[in-house]
Chain A
Amino acid sequence: MTKDDRFQHFYQKYYRRIVRFYVRAFHLSEEDAEELAQDAFVRFYGAMDEYRGDAEWAFFETIARNVAYNRIRSQKTAKRSGKMVDIDDPGFAHEPAAPEGPDYAQREQDEIRSKRLREAIAGLPAGKRECMRLWLSEYKFDEIARFMGITVDAVKSRLRDARKLLHARLGDADALPEDEE
């Protein structure tokens, strides 16, 4: 079987599933997901010659995740091309409308409270802190475990410890509510 034949078979087997993966995991449009999938397959094709092994799918998984990582990372890096406007431009100068929402005192109080919470999270020991922050970012226990390279039980244990430490620091009023996955 030639390289192109192998690639064709691989592509036909996996293309639709990889597009679906990108759509589901990263909330991409079908079009963007297809674009990303093509990118991954092109890189896979380019690396086929140097790859020696049976687990092509595992190899492709690394490429596919890497492509997604680079895409999202570059979106964060390429953001600095904002349009500059002249502050003296008459079209720019305008009276801003009064903000809607809570009054100044309320906002001040909210900010103080938020700062306390931020400091409490930041003060957690490394390991527990990352588990807690990923949990707050809606990651599931098994995803946190995979990322941290630890077991699901270790994640649960670290989260329990983190809750206790936060409670000891902040008291009942700011206790983190119990929550399952």
Chain B
Amino acid sequence: MTTKSEWQEANRALEAEDRQRLGEPPAAEEVLAYMRGELPAHEAARVCERLVAYPELVRTLTAEFPAEGAEPGDPDYMPDDEFAKHWASLQRRMPRKEPGRVLQFWPAISAIAAALAIVFGALYWQARTERAVPLVADLQILTPDGRRGGGDEAVPLTAQGDFYYLVVSLPGTPVFDTHRLEIVDASANPPRSIWSTSVLPRPSSEIFPILVPRTFLKPGKYQVVLYGVSGAREERIDTYTVRVRGR
């Protein structure tokens, strides 16, 4: 007789196979649409199948949520003095509003000089510590798909240095207080996310520079995806398709 734990072991092995076959878990907005029953049947089946390959993610959707909040007098109700402490740390996290900001032509180079790049931490550190020669990164400003003209082919990355210094510009995009970036390997079948940021406040410079070690991107096609994040909503704003040529 096969025990339940043997069946579970087989199921875990099947999960590993499915993750290879189906790629990354669905994005949060797909999952939200799935849970609200807003997807057509074939899309819903696809999201469901991918989620089942990542059962720990299913837990985020099904775990029992507290039914109600605590009222004053309840031990769960946070006293004012404790809130005051939390409030200070919350303020630091909150995206700063910049009233009167005008989104128009964007002076790219000066903004880049002032911006802090999002770097691929571990790889960047490794390159810094292992290399005796200075790091070189050629800057490349990305134009969104559909706005490039010329047949809108994927933009070849031309950097000759150790890094691609990719610049995603925000002017002209819908205004969100926070954003998220993702890099998708579009050559993979199915395409899969290979890197993503956490939620980032919209920078005052109106750009997101990304410093990508060249070794991270093998020859092929990639998409840098810009999301706008607002509360539970995550909206895909722009996609920048690039191509890395063989070396």
Contact = CB atoms under 8 A, between A and B. Distances in A.
Asked if A pairs with B, the answer is yes
B98 interface: no
A169 interface: no
A35 to B, nearest CB: 10
Contacts of A18: 66
A134 B17 contact: no
Interface in A11-28: 11-18, 20-21, 24-26
B11 interface: yes
B76 A147 contact: no
A46 B178 contact: yes
A77 B86 CA distance: 30
A2 B55 CA distance: 41
Contacts of A176: 2, 4, 7
Contacts of B122: 81-83
A32 to B, nearest CB: 13
B32 A62 contact: yes
Interface string B50-65: 0110111111111111
Interface string A121-161: 11000100010011011010001101111000000000000
Which 8 pairs of residues, A with B, have the shortest CB-CB distance?
A: A47-B231, A13-B69, A25-B63, A117-B10, A81-B122, A143-B62, A137-B55, A17-B66
A126 B95 CA distance: 43
A174 B10 CA distance: 12
Contact of B59 (A17, A26, A122, A136): A26
Contacts of A16: 70, 76-78
A26 B72 CA distance: 28
Nearest to B76: A16
Contact of B24 (A50, A64, A76, A134): A76
Interface of A: 8, 10-18, 20-21, 24-26, 38-39, 41-47, 50-51, 57, 59, 61-66, 68-74, 76-78, 80-84, 113-114, 117-118, 121-122, 126, 130, 133-134, 136-137, 139, 143-144, 146-149, 172-177, 179
Interface stretch (B144-152, B166-174, B189-197): B189-197
B48 A121 contact: no
Interface residues of B, number: 77
A77 B178 contact: no
- Where chain A touches its partner, the secondary structure class is helix
B199 interface: yes
B99 to A, nearest CB: 14
Interface string B143-162: 00000000000000000000
Contact of B58 (A50, A134, A173, A179): A134
A23 to B, nearest CB: 11
Given A73-B57, A146-B62, A147-B61, A57 B232 contact: no
Contacts of B54: 73, 76
Given A121-B7, A122-B14, 4 more contacts: A57-B69, A73-B54, A118-B14, A134-B52
B45 interface: yes
Contact of A66 (B32, B89, B121): B32
Contact of A12 (B37, B78, B194, B196): B78
A20 B66 contact: yes
Contacts of A146: 61-62
A81 B119 CA distance: 12
Contacts of B104: none
B2 A175 contact: yes
